Chain A
């Protein structure tokens, strides 16, 4: 998956407007990054990447960049 495709998936998880996330945001800035969004993100990653993220690592993520880093070898560009 490319970085742009990942960002579109993330927008869907957060029910954000299309192309509203550019990858430089902190999760706090996104506003809707709550416990339900975290679960939805875990489900999306499981479905699209076949990876079950460690919830503890996800809890440490502070930015969109940190989320991408969790999937570094699976996201290109």
Chain B
């Protein structure tokens, strides 16, 4: 039995954050420079009462409506988020009920960010190829906008909210459709992309909610998302080229064998630098952040879906996926597009 991706759908919230809107809020912030460097034109922002799970449910409903699979046939739900509905119960359990998935269905949340899609595919492959499940729904959904202070232009510029759903099924074939996998973790980088309070390590207090201005003129409190961009960038430079090489060695493939590279869509600056460093031709390196921003764990499935719609992903294509970010956590795999 070989696990493969049989369908992808995604959902975006209606709220918009354009560069003109950011410029109006932050006079002196060079919109042209940011757009040229970061490559993001529009971010989609969840409404106040709209949760990551709401977008995830809508994405899954689209997938069922497309006829890719019936909800009665789903036997495992994996939900990747860092924006759960509650500490408990598990958001995936609530989504099982909302989606009308069978009660015989397994469901779990896992907390990862920009590497989460690769880990989700790895878990789904394990479930399918060991006979534990036949039709796995992998939902990635995030509302980082809710963690971000409105006065923090550095991260507001980068991140957008979104959800994606990927259906992973099994086929009786000898040749692998997904894998091998390369994983990596370096928790010493945890402090560089963090919401410092709100868990049990540092509960929220009146003091933690106090807003302070940093050297760059960004405002945030300890209750908000903090990102050290240069630490994230150097982590990426140190780990990702090495992981790509490891994956190629493990699979016995060369860079030229890969038809399409779909990396976590962090931003244009970072991806362009990685592309050049790895010597990947532009036409094989898919980018899709212009209209969404960095949607964390959903960037890769959204990019795959867009690439397919744009005719850049044909059946039989060999695709390299690489995810990296908060943790630090990273992962890479190969797909034969079916």
Contacts and interface: CB of A to CB of B under 8 A. Distances in A.
Interface in B260-276: 269-270, 273, 276
13 contacts: A35-B216, A36-B33, A36-B269, A38-B230, A39-B230, A39-B269, A40-B269, A42-B233, A42-B234, A43-B269, A47-B276, A55-B230, A55-B234
Given A36-B33, A53-B234, A55-B234, A43 B229 contact: no
Interface residues of A, number: 17
B273 A35 contact: no
Interface in B226-242: 228-231, 233-234, 237-238
B237 A34 contact: no
Count chain B CB atoms within 10 A of each CB in A35, A53, A56 and give the residue with the most: A35
The dominant DSSP class at the B interface is helix
A36 B273 CA distance: 14
A58 B230 contact: yes
Given A43-B269, A47-B276, A35 B230 contact: yes
Contacts of A42: 230, 233-234, 237
Interface residues of B, number: 18
Interface of B: 33-34, 37, 154, 216, 228-231, 233-234, 237-238, 269-270, 273, 276-277
A47 to B, nearest CB: 7
Given A35-B154, A35-B216, A35-B229, A43 B234 contact: no
Contact of B228 (A34, A40, A46, A55): A55
Contact of B216 (A34, A40, A46, A47): A34
Secondary structure at chain A's binding surface: helix, strand, loop or mixed?
helix
Given A39-B230, A47-B277, A58-B230, 20 more contacts: A34-B216, A35-B154, A35-B216, A35-B230, A36-B37, A36-B269, A40-B37, A42-B233, A42-B234, A42-B237, A43-B269, A46-B273, A47-B273, A47-B276, A52-B234, A52-B238, A55-B231, A55-B233, A55-B234, A56-B231
Contacts of A52: 234, 237-238
B154 A39 contact: no
B31 to A, nearest CB: 13
Contacts of B229: 35, 38-39
Contact of B273 (A34, A43, A54, A56): A43
B217 to A, nearest CB: 9
Contacts of A53: 234
Interface string A23-55: 000000000001110111011001100001111
Contacts of A38: 229-230
A59 to B, nearest CB: 7
A13 to B, nearest CB: 12
B225 to A, nearest CB: 15
Nearest to A53: B234
A54 B234 CA distance: 7
A45 to B, nearest CB: 10
Contacts of B276: 47
A35 B234 CA distance: 13
A55 B192 CA distance: 11
